[in-house]
Amino acid sequence: MEEGLGNLGLALAGAVSRDVTEQLAASRLLVLAPHPDDETLACGGCIARVAGSGGSLTLAVATDGASGRHDIPGPELVRIRRAELTAAVSELGTDPGRVVWMGFDDGQLESEVDRLAERVGELVASVRPTVVLSPWAHDTHPDHAALGRAARKATAGSDSALLEYVVWAWTDPLHLLRDHARHRWSEAGQGRRGPRWSMPGRPVRVRTGGYRGAKVSALGAYRSQLGPSASELGLPSGEGPLGPTFLQHFTGPFELFIPVAAGRPTPGRPASA
């Protein structure tokens, strides 16, 4: 039942969303990921598209994913997941040197929102992104929600457009619908209409066409996280927690984001697209 609702929610959101593929491809992009693999699951097509367009991209990973498996000792899992992320971003056409490891503990981000916001704020000031992709601040995974709240705090008042991605709430679609309705006008974007992005609360989409194969290859690098039945989607089989029911939300023709705050128009470019 939940699988069907999740797929229906994704299809409906895609149907009412606005296509911002060309704007995204031309952006200076900062991607925020709670753990290694979130960047590829939710934003792999965007990363590959910006890289393929010769754009500027920085990926910041909040934790090393040490708690992602209970059957592998933490230090060994950290080594594995760091190597997997290096392989994944390479598949996406990005220099692994563009990865920033933020150094927070996996599973502990809820208690670190203020420090996270400070660190994200430093990155925003340094990178000066036109677009920031971050987790949805109301996602059902505490680390995702915490990083999302930190990103909202760090980008408030900046020139960056903040677009949030959903990962775990797709497995709890009723929560997604309830919380989306409750927070449609967020504190970070209430009453603002973006000059180049859609109104806060209405989804936007970025097409994966031309980069879908690269994204699937990048997902295949995360063998430690893929489950035994991941092969149903053409991915390697592993002993990890992510099965095809979950993964299919991220292997479709577009990636979906919720605009929270809209960046100001870039000088020399039209205010709308």
The answer to whether residue 220 scores a pLDDT higher than 60 is yes
Number of domains the chain is built from: 1
The answer to whether residue 238 scores a pLDDT higher than 60 is yes
Q: Is residue 266 part of a domain?
A: no
> What is the dihedral sign for C-alpha 183, 187, 193, 196?
negative
Q: Is residue 237 part of a domain?
A: yes
Q: Is residue 267 part of a domain?
A: no
Domain enclosing residue 95, as ranges: 2-260
Q: How far is CA 26 from CA 47, 54, 173, 193, in A?
A: 12, 9, 32, 21
Residue 29: other Cβ atoms inside 10 A: 26
The answer to whether residue 237 scores a pLDDT higher than 50 is yes
Q: Is residue 51 part of a domain?
A: yes
> pTM for the complete prediction?
0.86
63-122 per-position pLDDT tens digit: 999 999 999 999 999 999 999 999 999 999 999 999 999 999 999 999 999 999 999 999
Residue 154 maps to which CATH number? 3.40.50.10320
11-55 per-position pLDDT tens digit: 666 677 899 999 999 999 999 999 999 999 999 999 999 999 999
182-217 per-position pLDDT tens digit: 554 444 444 343 334 434 557 999 999 999 999 999
